[in-house]
């Protein structure tokens, strides 16, 4: 309570899932490139994530940053993810260190490791009886340049933790959809993240103690091939949803 959190990319889906559920639990400062429509549960800052000075200003008096801003398109071209996701994320870490922010929670993505889903492994890997698991210790294996940019953001976080003692959590977010999991889409069901599990995960990420961590951000799906162990252990993440419960 009273913790001051800067959330970047506040207009995006992950941002909405977090803010809607945790509106009263933190003192929010919401940053987005575009003005936010409607009333917001906190101060609003309109700035581009690659603008060093604006980002630094937005961090004044802030305890923790939830960094979601970036080009969210898996098919985004290189120039965009280079600027918005890689350079933008470095801007955030650098500003955090300069202004004395203590932790950064970074929205990484399933696309940082999606090339583990080889032709050999799919679609079995999306099925409950398959035993293949990723646990966060594996090398990145991106399925697209967007995924490359997210892996780079994770490595930047590793550096800023080691060099500047910043607490950094990278959440490889699965497939966030509201209400129910993707229908007729095994991959989406494997990595579904419900809105309430998403908000709970980010709440835990702002409360728990850690140095540098990579965790998977999905619900407790029967079909999962991402391990939730690290998220449970380090964060106390306790998901309530499972895409299998929506099979009817």
Cβ pair 69, 132 in contact under 8 A:
no
Please choose, out of 14-22, 122-130, 152-160, 215-223, the segment that lies near a second copy by the rule CB under 8 A. Answer: 152-160
Q: Which of 26, 93, 116, 146 is catalytic?
A: 146
78 binds a second copy (CB under 8 A): yes
- Scanning the chain, the segments in alpha helix (DSSP H) are 13-22, 52-58, 78-80, 88-99, 145-164, 186-190, 195-207, 229-230
Nearer to a second copy, 18 or 234 (CB): 234
- Cβ atoms of 63 and 101 within 8 Å: the answer is yes
Nearest to 69 by CA among 23, 29, 114, 125: 29
Catalytic residue check, 237: no
Contact between 135 and a second copy per CB under 8 A: no
Give the x/- contact pattern for a second copy in 100-119, rule: CB under 8 A: ---------------x----
Are the C-beta atoms of residues 108 and 212 closer than 8 Å to each other? no
In this complex, which beta carbon is closest to a second copy, that of residue 103 or of residue 161? 161
Q: Which stretch binds a second copy (CB under 8 A): 153-161, 173-181, 192-200, 238-246?
A: 153-161
> Which SS3 state, helix, strand or coil, does residue 87 take?
helix
Gap between the Cα atoms of 48 and 34, Å rounded: 8
Rule CB under 8 A: choose which of 139, 179, 209, 248 binds a second copy: 139
Residues facing 175 on adjacent strands: 192
Of 31, 76, 92, 151, the residue at the interface with a second copy (CB under 8 A) is: 151
Q: Tokens 């207009």 belong to which residue?
A: 11
Q: Residues within the annotated binding site?
A: 84, 109, 146, 150
Q: Residues within the annotated binding site for NAD(+)?
A: 84, 109, 146, 150
Which residues here bind a second copy, judged by CB under 8 A?
Answer: 78, 82, 86-87, 90, 94, 115, 137, 139-145, 147-148, 151-152, 155-156, 158-159, 162-163, 214
Please give the positions annotated as active site: 146
């Amino acid at each position: 309570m009273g913790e001051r959190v800067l959330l970047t990319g506040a207009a995006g889906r992950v941002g909405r899932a977090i803010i809607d559920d945790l509106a009263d639990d933190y003192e929010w400062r919401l940053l987005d490139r575009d003005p936010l429509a409607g009333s917001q549960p906190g101060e609003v800052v309109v700035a581009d994530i690659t603008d060093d000075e604006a980002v630094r200003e937005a961090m004044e008096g802030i305890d923790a940053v939830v960094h979601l801003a970036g080009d969210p398109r898996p098919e985004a071209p290189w120039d965009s993810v280079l600027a918005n996701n890689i350079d933008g994320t470095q801007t955030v870490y650098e500003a955090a260190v300069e202004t004395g922010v203590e932790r950064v929670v970074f929205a990484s993505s399933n696309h940082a490791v999606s090339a583990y889903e080889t032709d050999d492994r799919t679609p079995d890997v999306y099925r409950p009886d398959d035993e293949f698991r990723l646990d966060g210790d594996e090398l990145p294996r991106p399925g697209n340049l967007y995924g490359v940019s997210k892996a780079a953001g994770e490595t930047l976080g590793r550096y800023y933790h080691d060099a500047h003692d910043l607490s950094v959590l990278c959440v490889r977010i699965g497939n966030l959809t509201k209400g129910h999991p993707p229908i007729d889409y095994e991959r989406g069901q494997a990595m579904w993240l419900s809105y309430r599990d998403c908000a709970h995960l980010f709440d835990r990420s702002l409360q728990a103690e850690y140095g540098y961590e990579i965790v998977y951000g999905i619900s407790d799906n029967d079909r999962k091939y991402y391990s939730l162990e690290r998220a449970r252990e380090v964060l106390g993440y306790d998901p309530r949803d499972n895409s299998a419960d929506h099979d009817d």
